[in-house]
Amino acid sequence: MGLPSFLKLKLHLFLVCLLNVLTISSTELTKEEAVLFGGNFPALYVIGDSLVDPGNNNYLLTVVRANFPPYGSNFEGGKATGRFSDGKTIADYIAMYYGLPLAPAYMGLTRRQKNNISTGINYASASCGIFPESGKKLGICLSMSVQVDLFNRTIDKNLKKNFKTQSELSSHLAKSLFLTVIGVNDYAFSYNKTTQDANEFANRLLHEYLIQIERLHKLGARKFFVNNIKPLGCYPNIIVKTVPRGSCDHELNLAITIFNDKLRASLSEMHHRLFNTSFLYSDYFNFMLELRGPSSNRASSNLLNTTSPCCPEAYDGGLTTATCLPVSSVCKEPDRYIFFDPRHPTQIANFMYAIRCFQERKICHVVKNSTRLV
Ligand SMILES: *[C@@H]1O[C@H](CO)[C@@H](O)[C@H](O)[C@H]1NC(C)=O
Ligand SMILES: *[C@@H]1O[C@H](CO)[C@@H](O)[C@H](O)[C@H]1NC(C)=O
Ligand SMILES: *[C@@H]1O[C@H](CO)[C@@H](O)[C@H](O)[C@H]1NC(C)=O
Ligand SMILES: *[C@@H]1O[C@H](CO)[C@@H](O)[C@H](O)[C@H]1NC(C)=O
Ligand SMILES: *[C@@H]1O[C@H](CO)[C@@H](O)[C@H](O)[C@H]1NC(C)=O
Ligand SMILES: *[C@@H]1O[C@H](CO)[C@@H](O)[C@H](O)[C@H]1NC(C)=O
């Protein structure tokens, strides 16, 4: 499936930009920006949900899986790996940008493979979230604290074998990048806007999130790439139920914004408090909102269907069409949609994320010290 020509041009510019990263960083960026945008990370470790799950759920007792066609139709060799998209996820594009192999699913690795990987592992699990109970009604999944437990286990059982001394291991961990993309399932499954206070919910969720970030820090992580929570209120599975039909659930988006604002402030506070710790904050929320918006991005909204999923093609929000199934009818050109299924973006949207983050630097920013402590 060919890319539209304007995207081919973008891809070309993107690659040229990659080659120029070092030049750019020595001229325009602060030292911290040069490190976080310039890369040179030995490994990428991923903590997340279905936006970045590369197939961990294939090995868990759950119906929330994507290891069958039409998922993966645009992935390397058209393989349905378990990624919830037609192709690559943002974790894949982030790995590629930094010149690393795509981080493999932890659950799919043999003991021997685990012992021999020092370029990163992905622990992300679809349907799970930050609260241990979020998404569990749908089946087994790995919540954020379990993912951090597994990373702890990786250090103890596997990584220690790869490094001769404790200080070499510590240096590896301190130089590695820790990507987090998690939290939307807490809003999807644990938040009820009619019975819960948005501010109180955000505080509780953030508290749990920061505990896990601090645990990663305690284990040796020093470089974080933190994505905020997506605008769930504008996703096909929500807008199919709104009145008027097709409009965003602004109340839900506002609740998520409250969390996102607190998250950003907390990272700034942590950056100030923790030595040698840097955060790249990515505004995934506004990225998706702008991609969807008609006025802000005319070129893409003329070319892309920004409201309906590619699969199932006729989406009515009913139970049988809640996700993309092996029997679902699929659009012919996923590259012309921003949503592949009702809850997940297409590869082209994920690719655009990489452009906005790394090339244009519109959505990704190095977190600076806070002027005001929270
Ligand atoms: C370890 O990984 C490297 C590179 O991926 C590979 O060449 C090598 O054969 C692997 N070794 C073992 C023992 O699996
Ligand atoms: C939220 O709670 C109200 C009142 O208990 C209930 O009627 C409604 O169905 C709940 N909504 C969801 C999405 O669970
Ligand atoms: C990591 O695992 C070890 C051994 O099981 C445990 O003692 C330690 O508290 C764990 N660290 C974190 C941050 O969870
Ligand atoms: C930011 O905080 C660090 C301590 O974490 C401090 O060393 C540094 O000087 C501060 N920078 C600014 C610009 O305040
Ligand atoms: C910060 O990092 C530098 C260089 O990596 C190291 O020498 C120093 O000990 C670290 N400081 C702390 C407080 O960890
Ligand atoms: C998006 O796709 C859906 C289903 O394929 C179609 O009904 C809808 O008209 C399309 N919207 C636009 C703006 O093209």
Task: Determine the Cα angle at 262 with ends 258 and 267, to 5°.
Answer: 150
Name the residue at shortest CA distance from atom 10 of ligand 1: 116
User: Does residue 113 line the site of ligand 1, with CB under 6 A?
Assistant: no
Per the CB < 8 A criterion, the answer to whether 338 and 351 are in contact is: no
What percentage of the chain carries pLDDT values higher than 90? 81
Q: Taking CA 168 as the corner, what is the angle to CA 166 and CA 173, rounded to the nearest 5 degrees?
A: 95
Q: What is the pLDDT of residues 358-374, one digit of tens each?
A: 999 999 999 987 655 44
Q: Where are the beta strands (DSSP E) in 288-357?
A: 305-309, 337-341, 344-345
**Residue of 297, 308, 336, 341 best suited for mutating to test ligand 6, as the one with most atoms within 8 Å of CB:** 308
295 lines ligand 5 (CB under 6 A): no
Query: Cβ–Cβ contacts within 10 Å for residue 67, how many?
Result: 15
Confidence of residue 16 (pLDDT cuts 50, 70, 90): very low
**What are the start-end ranges of the E strands in 165-252?**
177-181, 223-227
Q: For residues 36-63, give the mean pLDDT.
A: 96
Say what the pLDDT of residue 50 is: 98
pLDDT band at 13, cuts 50/70/90?
A: low
Does position 19 have pLDDT exceeding 80, yes or no?
A: no
CATH of the domain at 312: 3.40.50.1110
Residue-level pLDDT at 116: 95
| CA–CA gap between residue 358 and residue 239 (Å, rounded) | 30
Domain count of the fold of the chain: 1
80-129 pLDDT, tens digit each = 999 999 999 999 999 999 999 999 999 999 999 999 999 999 999 999 99
pLDDT at 317 over 60: yes
Judged against a pLDDT cut of 90, whether residue 1 lies above it is answered with no
d(CA 217, CA 197): 30
- Give catalytic residue positions: 50, 341, 344
In a domain, 373, yes or no: no
Which ligand lies nearest to the CA atom of residue 114 in the structure? 1
Average pLDDT, rounded, for the chain: 90
Pocket test for ligand 3, best of 152, 160, 210, 213 (most atoms within 8 A of CB): 152
Would you say 90 and 354 are in contact if contact means Cβ atoms under 8 Å apart? Answer: yes
Residue 72 within a domain: yes
Residue 295 pLDDT exceeds 50: no
Q: What is the pLDDT of residues 214-267, one digit of tens each?
A: 999 999 999 999 999 999 999 999 999 999 888 999 999 999 999 999 999 999
Nearest residue to 341 (alpha-carbon basis) of 351, 356, 326:
326
Q: Specify if 304 maps to a domain.
A: yes
User: Which range has the worst mean pLDDT, 20-24, 109-113, 153-157, 288-292?
Assistant: 20-24
Q: What integer pLDDT is reported at residue 372 of this predicted model?
A: 52
Centre of ligand 3 from the C-alpha of residue 4, in Å:
49
Q: Does residue 277 form part of some domain?
A: yes
Characterise 49 by phi-psi region: left (phi > 0), alpha (psi -120 to 50), beta (else): beta
Domain hosting residue 155, numbered range: 5-366
